[in-house]
Structure 1
Amino acid sequence: RQGPRPGRHPDALNLRGAAMYRVCLVVIARNEAALIGRLLASVKPWVDDMLVLDTGSSDATPALAQAAGARVAHFAWCDDFSAARNAALDLAAADWHLVLDADEWLIGGGQALLELKQQRPDFVGSIELLDQFSDGQDRLAHARLSRLLPGHLRYAGRIHEQPQHRLPCRPLPVQIGHDGYLPERLQAKRGRNQALLLKALQSQPEDAYLHYQLGKDCSVYEDYAAAEASFARAAALCPGEMSWWPDLVARRLFGLKQLKRHDQGMDFAQTQLDRCAQSPDFFFALGDLLLDCAADLPDQAPGLLPLIEDAWLRCLEIGERPDLSGAVAGRGSHLAAHNLALVLEGTGRAEQAVALRLRFALAA
């Protein structure tokens, strides 16, 4: 009788009688020579295998990946992330697949990856993604993404692809860093995602998620008019409570502020008070929009200042919510406290401002 297959063995037993499952890092990459080593070095101690699918590099990415201990294969890029992801998953052929990109790396949670070797692949594991970005200051945004997949699962979607499944999802204590939104990285891939999103929308014009992602892409590159058009379309099409909704709302309010469309922003925010009641990012963006309006229209400032103060107080009451997709670290704590302290100082409450700054300096 034949023994279990060496690559995938769903019910294989080791000598101690415990099920053993193989875990493989799966990466698609092109021209990532500067980053691929960081990713592979961070993950290698915790997995059984690493597969890098090169999609047409003209630099040393394949050689560096191989030197770092990864299996390397090649794929002809066809403007379809799912096609590339699925080709890589086919080649990886493990029981568990950890799907990451070259501009990501493991920060913490290696032990949870090791423990997958003893866990049947009958659920999807989500990881915490920590996005580094810059808006004049270094910031950190949080997201939870399904990146630990049972071996049989595959992706759908030309861009911002999603694994297709009906399995239960389980949050795992795995933290992944991501710095692809830093300015120099953004410029290197400017226009790429937008072209793919527009192509995807040609065949799926009623897909709210694609319109949301197009709005994000336009906003990142400071095309706020185009972002607003996409966010408005996504809002009109949104089928219900989506995990990305509070992020859309906060981004849309920021864009409307940049466009000086304060009244439209306030009207939209009014409709979201219940839906985003537990999002500090929503109230932070609302306070920011109201402050910008007060600066532009000084005669309205006395009436707006209490609303601005209430918005940032609400941020502090809610606190940090890293579990919400797109949540920016600090908007439920020190960033909101800083803005609120400025309002307190400007309205003759210097002692309260000092106490607030001290409170959150100590908390930090």
Structure 2
Amino acid sequence: MKKLSLVMIVRNEEKKLERCLKSVQGSVDDIVIVDTGSDDRTLEIARTYHAKLFQYPWNNHFAEVRNYALSKSTGDWNLVLDADEWVTKGNRQQLNNFMDNQQAIGQIRITSSFFDGADSFAHCYTSRLIPRNVFYKGKIHEQIDSTLPRINCDLEVAHDGYYRTDKSERNLSLLLSEIQDYPRDPYLHYQTAKEYYRISDYENANKHYALSYSFLSGTESYYPNVVVDYLYNIMKYGNMQKGLEIVQSEESRIGDFPDFYFVCGLFYMNLVSSDITKYIYLFPQIETSYLKALEIGETSEYLTVEGTGSYAAAYNLGVFYETTGNREKAFRYYKEAEKYNYEPAKRRLADIS
């Protein structure tokens, strides 16, 4: 049987580390933790789980610290997690099946919680199960440096590192430093744009979304997310005509992505409202977009926000129909959203009943 090690880098994670370590009990053979300067109970908690502990001074370079941790692992395979993540589904037998039969990087499904006016969740597949002698590159939002294929495996993880937490100051400093070395890297510009968006600096976000979009080849796995997030920022920053050009040019490329049609529904609504005389001909696209999002559903392999292919799209359709006087259809789609226990839909049903 292949040996599997959990490999982590941590600093001051006393509030979350035990949740992570407890979740992998019975699934990993040993635990390797590199600490970058904790002054709380992090190391004490790690010792209770018999972790192999190492120290590495923080140097503003995530890949270097991550690679140091990997160098201390004796596993045939390494599972890489952060302290703010924990396993919610999957077992050792499933991991063994993957490790025994694949020459690949294992992608695990991560559900991230965040607050955007309401509690929300995003799902994505991320490369975290890696064979020995595979390492990382990048100061921040580090990526696995390997040509091995990426294959989904049966492991699901929850993540709350960005839930009501602001890491933008640290992240922007590292990202902007990295961009100086790689000024045409679309991924770095994309991550930078997202950090500016989080702090409501839509002007700088727009600058980096535009750069990322211009440098993309179209084959990147995160390409659809750049498009969608760029459109959200355009609705905050302005330049709706540019947004319309993006919407009309991207449907043929990412038409299997529910988040794309969901943001299109919002975009068309904002566009028509901005100049009714000029854009009224696009009014039917609001309905069409949400219907397409529901038709696709939530089976996308992209990073997708929960609800864009189900309850959120159904609720927005309900609002559309209610405001256009079609109470029968409004009731129908509010009921559809209510099936997911979606509170806004419950409230509207109570009002129109």
TM-score, length of structure 2 as denominator length: 0.91
Is 1:104 the counterpart of 2:81? The answer is no
Q: Is the 8 A contact 2:224 2:254 kept in 1?
A: yes
Q: Distance in 2 between matches of 1:276 and 1:342?
A: 26
Q: Is the 8 A contact 2:136 2:144 kept in 1?
A: yes
Is 1:333 the counterpart of 2:306? The answer is no
Shift of 1:43: 0.8
Is 1:267 the counterpart of 2:245? The answer is yes
Q: Distance in 2 between matches of 1:257 and 1:121?
A: 44
Q: Distance in 2 between matches of 1:112 and 1:361?
A: 37
Mean CA deviation greater in 146-155 or 282-291:
282-291
Q: Distance in 2 between matches of 1:87 and 1:196?
A: 19
Q: Deviations over 1:27-58 (max 9, x none)?
A: 10111111111100101221100111101112
DSSP-derived class of the 1:44 partner: coil
Q: Is the 8 A contact 1:112 1:172 kept in 2?
A: no
DSSP-derived class of the 1:239 partner: coil
Shift of 1:121: 6.5
Q: Is the 8 A contact 2:26 2:92 kept in 1?
A: no
DSSP-derived class of the 1:140 partner: strand
Corresponding residue number in structure 1 for 2:163: 182
1:350 corresponds to which of 315, 327, 343: 327
DSSP-derived class of the 2:252 partner: coil
Corresponding residue number in structure 2 for 1:257: 235
2:105 corresponds to which of 91, 104, 124: 124
Q: Distance in 1 between matches of 2:139 and 2:338?
A: 45
Corresponding residue number in structure 2 for 1:172: 153
Corresponding residue number in structure 2 for 1:198: 176
Report the CA distance shift for 1:295/1:327 in structure 2 as closer, same or farther (over 3 A).
same
Is 1:139 the counterpart of 2:116? The answer is no
The size of the alignment, in residue pairs, is 341
Corresponding residue number in structure 1 for 2:336: 359
Corresponding residue number in structure 1 for 2:26: 45
Corresponding residue number in structure 2 for 1:213: 191
The gaps in structure 2 that reach 5 residues or longer are 342-353
Report the CA distance shift for 1:82/1:358 in structure 2 as closer, same or farther (over 3 A).
same
DSSP-derived class of the 1:357 partner: helix
Identity %: 35
TM-score, length of structure 1 as denominator length: 0.89
Is 1:85 the counterpart of 2:66? The answer is yes
Q: Is the 8 A contact 1:254 1:285 kept in 2?
A: yes
Letter of the 1:100 partner, please give it: L
Q: Is the 8 A contact 1:133 1:140 kept in 2?
A: yes
Q: Deviations over 1:71-122 (max 9, x none)?
A: 2111011111111011000111210100011111001012455525961673
1:161 corresponds to which of 129, 142, 151: 142
Letter of the 1:160 partner, please give it: H
Q: Deviations over 1:217-251 (max 9, x none)?
A: 21222221111111110111112311101111111
Letter of the 1:336 partner, please give it: A
DSSP-derived class of the 2:161 partner: strand
Report the CA distance shift for 1:292/1:197 in structure 2 as closer, same or farther (over 3 A).
same
Letter of the 1:293 partner, please give it: L
Letter of the 2:311 partner, please give it: H
DSSP-derived class of the 1:312 partner: helix
Q: Distance in 2 between matches of 1:116 and 1:29?
A: 29
Shift of 1:24: 0.6
Report the CA distance shift for 1:301/1:347 in structure 2 as closer, same or farther (over 3 A).
farther
DSSP-derived class of the 1:282 partner: helix
